[in-house]
Amino acid sequence: MNFFDAIQSSGSGLSAQRIRMNLITNNLANSQTTKTAEGGPYKRKLAVFTTQPLETDFDSVLKGKMGQASSEVKVSEIVDDKRQPLLKYDPMHPDADADGFVAMPNINITEEMVDMLSASRSYEANVTAISTTKAMVFKALEIGR
């Protein structure tokens, strides 16, 4: 892997984790939203990550078969959480049904905060990888002096 591939791989990781953090922030902001444009309560959003090779030329395919290929992280899709909404008894709420229950988003604040911490740490790891790669490039340039 050359320096540019390392930086591109880490940069794609930064972008993917930024999208993940934005989704988590949106989930937290909508944790009490009982009515959306689609109808029903807000559904928690999740990012699905995939890896893609940086290049598709013969050399990259050969390196991939040998286990040496460089790849980048992409958000392939954003999906709704499949969990059912929570039912909360609140007959005075404007969105309550005939029995007095309100369908609330199934968002666990603790789970979202743990996901945010994980995304933040992954983001920091990618920043550190880029900084280390940059330092290696500068050291390699100093060798030639």
CA dihedral sign, ordered 35, 105, 119, 71: negative
User: Angle 3-29/109-143 helices, nearest 10 degrees?
Assistant: 160
* Whole-Å CA distances, 14 to 47, 108, 130: 14, 25, 10
pLDDT band (50, 70, 90) for residue 1: low
Per-position b or e across 48-58, b if 16+ CB within 10 A of its CB: eeeeeebeeee
pTM for this model (two decimals): 0.82
Please tell me the predicted confidence (pLDDT) of residue 67: 61
Could you give the C-alpha distances from 134 to 19, 93, 127, 128, in angstroms and in order? 24, 56, 11, 10
Please write the tens of the pLDDT for every residue from 32-58.
Answer: 999 998 888 999 999 999 988 776 566
